[in-house]
Amino acid sequence: MTSDVSPSQPLSLFPPARRVKVLLPLPLDSAYDYAVPEGMDVGPGSFVTVPLGGRQIVGIVWDDEPDPDGVPESKLRPVAGVVPVPPLPEASRRFVDRMAAYTLAPPGQVLRMAMSSPKALEPASERTVYTAADPAPKDLRWTSARRRVYALAQEDPPRSAADLAREAGVSSGVVRGLADAGGLLPMRLPDSIFFETPDPDHPRAALSDAQQNIAEEMSRAVLAGGFSVTLLDGVTGSGKTEVYFEAVAAALGAGKKVLVLLPEIALSAQWLERFEERFGTLPAEWHSDLSPGTRRRTWKAVAEGRVQILVGARSALHLPFPDLGLIVVDEEHDGSYKQEEGVIYHARDMAVLRAQISDCPIILASATPSLESLANVEAQRYRLAHLPERHGEAELPQVSLVDLRKTPPPRQRWIAPPLQDALEETLAKGEQALLFLNRRGYAPLTLCRTCGHRIECPDCDAWLVEHRFGRRLECHHCGFSMKTPEKCPSCGDEGSLVACGPGVERLFEEAVAILPEARIEVVTSDTLQGPLAAAAFVDRVTSGEVNLIIGTQIVAKGYHFPLLTLVGVVDADLGLAGGDLRASERTFQLLSQVAGRAGRAGHKGRVLLQTANPNATVLRAIADGDRDGFYAAEADMRRDLGWPPYGKLAAIIVSGEDEGHVERTAGDLARSAPRLDNVRVLGPAAPPLALLRGRHRRRLLLKADRTISIQRVLSDWMSRIKPPSSVRVQIDIDPYSF
């Protein structure tokens, strides 16, 4: 071997190893350097196993820029292996980077959302599913659990043992037992899902002129490609879904991929039905109810470009679409798009970022848009597509206020006489009604008549809510629950505990008493878990088995019941208490949406709002149908005060188990706050839940002019303080409550 290395350079026996940066799904600020062993085939986006400390962990090759000033060659550890899944696409990697930069969360923490569960990613090549043995063995012992499993196994598609158990609501032992007894036949299938391509040319309803114009404009934008944001603003029933389906059809026709976000995917049963009617097949789905197997196979199908259209909850934004042709965010104003845990982000805003990265159009649809989106229209950053009227003969419902001071309900009752009359009339005509109360359980407070003790959550600054059907008290913030005590936990008096205030269960009791003929169903997130439960509920209402729905906000969204002509809002003041600056906007949106459930073609609807403040601006605006007036007044107020969307806002949340440490850190933060023009720091103050899950909390707000980069100001500020390890400091850019 000859060498022409000059004597001044150290002699190296091996050429320097190729280096890559690997981002790990951990709250770390940057990617780490690793060496690529000779012959290993990795590139940007590859899923790789690497050593970290004493363990092996799956991360993603972020880029392979050599970084010679990084870790010295001698300390560089090698990549241990490559996980055989498609690489994370460029667009997804850039999304992680930009989302981390915007939210100030560590990129690794954002990446974790994009990786699903790295362990689960490793595809098996085959899986076992079961079909019902036909006929079943004669000597089989039938139990009702076995019957349910057997019935499910007769349906298509064949399911795995885990899915059969989950869907039939039985233990996996039951499924195994039935299989062992010969009632189920195992089948081996490749571990992959096939999604049918929807047919964009399926027959569809003829659109009105207004609908057609908007549909065409949006379809043109899809075909032309390029980033644009359209706010599709139209009253409930105006045909927004119908219209954005045309843009979806245009994308599918051109072979482009589509992502649709819905706020609460468990409630999407009716949406899926309409999709199937329009496109002849179902889209792929993504939400927390998917079984781990379906999750893994869906993730893989998206990564391999086999999914044309997917509908999902906010986490679907992190799916590895190699390219997207259209994003739709339905009910864009919905508060559940805001994720408040871990990486704090707003899925609507991140969807806009995702569309920008994919250079494709995005449609934000709502009957009651967020002030943010309206301000973006006003500033000409977003286009506006407006559908001012309900489709066809359908009229908007007539809304009136019931003044609870003038016509109060009887003692310990919550349905006032005018609402009771309306309910009786409606049910007598064979129509249906909805009683809306945004409170799960029986009563929000349990009080001791003897000593005045209020039963609180041990870990939160909140009362326990009585769930009488389940005989328990529950915390709605942390999930703590206990058996309803017989005596006061404070003074020990027996029989002294009383329920204060109404929840939907208590309203049910009242409705049973005053409307003996009604066929009532209570609907909350407790009762409607998952798309199957939702679909069954829809059936019970459409078939008339149920004619009075008592529900929380879960029934406010999206459902269309043709015979539902009366909506009674039991406590229209509920969302207005508390002094949150977004309370009016939120109440307006929620009540408009609930009201929108009443009335369809041929059946005029009416809405009664029970209130003790009939002069509240929001309620007046809803009763008078003065939507524009409400928005204008709200916008003026925000503009004058410099609140979002006319100024920028971030919350800094300090939390920890030791209240003293938390206070001290919050104080340090306030003292080291930036002193800049057009930036103000407010607080620290105790937020509404000053104790949550055993952690004390304090909050500061940073308020700045629109021209300021609050991310830069915040990073600077945070780098100046060093909180003790017992205290966590979280940043919430654009807080939803303020």
**Which segments are annotated as binding site for Zn(2+)?**
448, 451, 457, 460, 475, 478, 488, 491
Distance CA 412, CA 443 (A): 12
Contact set for ligand ADP, span 567-606 (CB under 6 A) = none
Q: Which of 124, 205, 451, 641 binds ligand ADP (CB under 6 A)?
A: 205
Element housing 120 (H / E): helix 118-121
Q: Which of 25, 59, 89, 239 binds ligand ADP (CB under 6 A)?
A: 239
240 touches ligand ADP (CB under 6 A): yes
560 touches ligand ADP (CB under 6 A): yes
Which of ligand ADP, Zn ion, none sits in contact with 205, Cβ below 5 to 8 A by type?
A: ligand ADP
Region from 201-209, 483-491, 494-502, 659-667 binding ligand ADP, contact rule CB under 6 A: 201-209
End-to-end CA distance of the chain: 72
Which of ligand ADP, Zn ion, none sits in contact with 723, Cβ below 5 to 8 A by type?
A: none
Distance CA 107, CA 105 (A): 6
Distance CA 594, CA 591 (A): 5
Residues 457, 460, 461: CA angle, nearest 5 degrees: 95
The annotated binding site is made up of 448, 451, 457, 460, 475, 478, 488, 491
Residues 193, 93, 648: CA angle, nearest 5 degrees: 120
User: Please, what is the minimum distance in Å from the beta carbon of residue 689 to Zn ion?
Assistant: 9
Distance CA 107, CA 29 (A): 6
263 touches ligand ADP (CB under 6 A): no
Distance CA 589, CA 455 (A): 32
Which of ligand ADP, Zn ion, none sits in contact with 237, Cβ below 5 to 8 A by type?
A: ligand ADP
Which of Zn ion, ligand ADP, none sits in contact with 238, Cβ below 5 to 8 A by type?
A: ligand ADP
Which of Zn ion, ligand ADP, none sits in contact with 358, Cβ below 5 to 8 A by type?
A: none
238 touches ligand ADP (CB under 6 A): yes
For the window 295-334, what string marks contact with ligand ADP as x by the rule CB under 6 A?
A: ----------------------------------------
Distance CA 354, CA 688 (A): 33
User: Please, what is the minimum distance in Å from the beta carbon of residue 324 to ligand ADP?
Assistant: 22
Element housing 448 (H / E): strand 445-448
Distance CA 646, CA 705 (A): 8
Q: Which CB sits closer to ligand ADP, 277 or 636?
A: 277
**Residue in the block written with tokens 């919550």:** 414
The 8-class DSSP code of residue 315 comes to G
| Two structure tokens written together for 490 | 């404070």
**CB of 526 within 8 A of CB of 161?**
no
For the window 342-381, what string marks contact with ligand ADP as x by the rule CB under 6 A?
A: ----------------------------------------
Region from 229-237, 439-447, 465-473, 712-720 binding ligand ADP, contact rule CB under 6 A: 229-237
Q: Which CB sits closer to ligand ADP, 1 or 206?
A: 206
The 8-class DSSP code of residue 730 comes to E
Beta strands in 512-556 (DSSP E): 520-523, 548-551
Q: Which CB sits closer to ligand ADP, 386 or 471?
A: 386
Which of Zn ion, ligand ADP, none sits in contact with 655, Cβ below 5 to 8 A by type?
A: none
Region from 38-46, 205-213, 396-404, 405-413 binding ligand ADP, contact rule CB under 6 A: 205-213
Which of Zn ion, ligand ADP, none sits in contact with 460, Cβ below 5 to 8 A by type?
A: Zn ion
Distances (CA, A) of 711 to 104, 105, 448, 540, 721: 7, 11, 49, 50, 16
Contact set for Zn ion, span 55-114 (CB under 5 A) = none
Distance CA 143, CA 118 (A): 39
Q: Which CB sits closer to ligand ADP, 329 or 691?
A: 329
Greatest pairwise CA separation for the chain in angstroms:
103
Distance CA 335, CA 264 (A): 10
User: Please, what is the minimum distance in Å from the beta carbon of residue 481 to Zn ion?
Assistant: 9
Q: Which of 21, 93, 391, 606 binds ligand ADP (CB under 6 A)?
A: 391
Q: Which CB sits closer to Zn ion, 367 or 475?
A: 475
Q: Which of 475, 504, 567, 570 binds Zn ion (CB under 5 A)?
A: 475
Q: Which CB sits closer to ligand ADP, 184 or 541?
A: 541
Concatenate the DSSP letters of all residues of 220-265 into one string: HHHHH-S-EEEEEEE-TTS-HHHHHHHHHHHHHHTT--EEEE-S-G
Q: Which CB sits closer to Zn ion, 479 or 667?
A: 479
Q: Is residue 293 classed as helix, strand or coil in its secondary structure?
A: helix
Q: Which CB sits closer to ligand ADP, 93 or 240?
A: 240
User: Please, what is the minimum distance in Å from the beta carbon of residue 189 to ligand ADP?
Assistant: 36
| Two structure tokens written together for 523 | 């609907």
β-pairing verdict for 648-656 and 398-403? unpaired
Give how far the C-alpha of residue 41 lies from the chain's centroid of Cα atoms, to the nearest Å: 38
Q: Is residue 690 classed as helix, strand or coil in its secondary structure?
A: coil
Contact set for Zn ion, span 477-516 (CB under 5 A) = 477-478, 480
Which residues are CB-neighbours of 155 under 8 A, at least 6 positions away? none
Region from 54-62, 118-126, 217-225, 238-246 binding ligand ADP, contact rule CB under 6 A: 238-246
Q: Is the dihedral of CA 452, 455, 458, 464 positive or negative?
A: negative
For the window 422-461, what string marks contact with Zn ion as x by the rule CB under 5 A?
A: -----------------------------------x-xx-
Which residues are CB-neighbours of 230 under 8 A, at least 6 positions away? 218, 221, 361, 362, 363, 364, 382, 383, 384, 385
Residue 715 half-sphere exposure toward CB, CA atoms < 13 A: 11
| Two structure tokens written together for 639 | 């503009």
Q: Which CB sits closer to ligand ADP, 80 or 563?
A: 563
Contact set for ligand ADP, span 102-121 (CB under 6 A) = none
**CB of 581 within 8 A of CB of 688?**
no
241 touches ligand ADP (CB under 6 A): yes
Q: Which CB sits closer to ligand ADP, 391 or 699?
A: 391
211 touches ligand ADP (CB under 6 A): yes
Cis peptide before 10 (omega within 30 of 0): no
User: Please, what is the minimum distance in Å from the beta carbon of residue 242 to ligand ADP?
Assistant: 4
397 touches ligand ADP (CB under 6 A): no
Contact set for Zn ion, span 688-727 (CB under 5 A) = none
Q: Which of 109, 160, 219, 236 binds ligand ADP (CB under 6 A)?
A: 236
Element housing 63 (H / E): strand 55-63
Binding site for ligand ADP (CB under 6 A): 205-208, 211, 234, 236-242, 391, 560
Task: Tell me which residues touch Zn ion (CB under 5 A).
Answer: 457, 459-460, 475, 477-478, 480
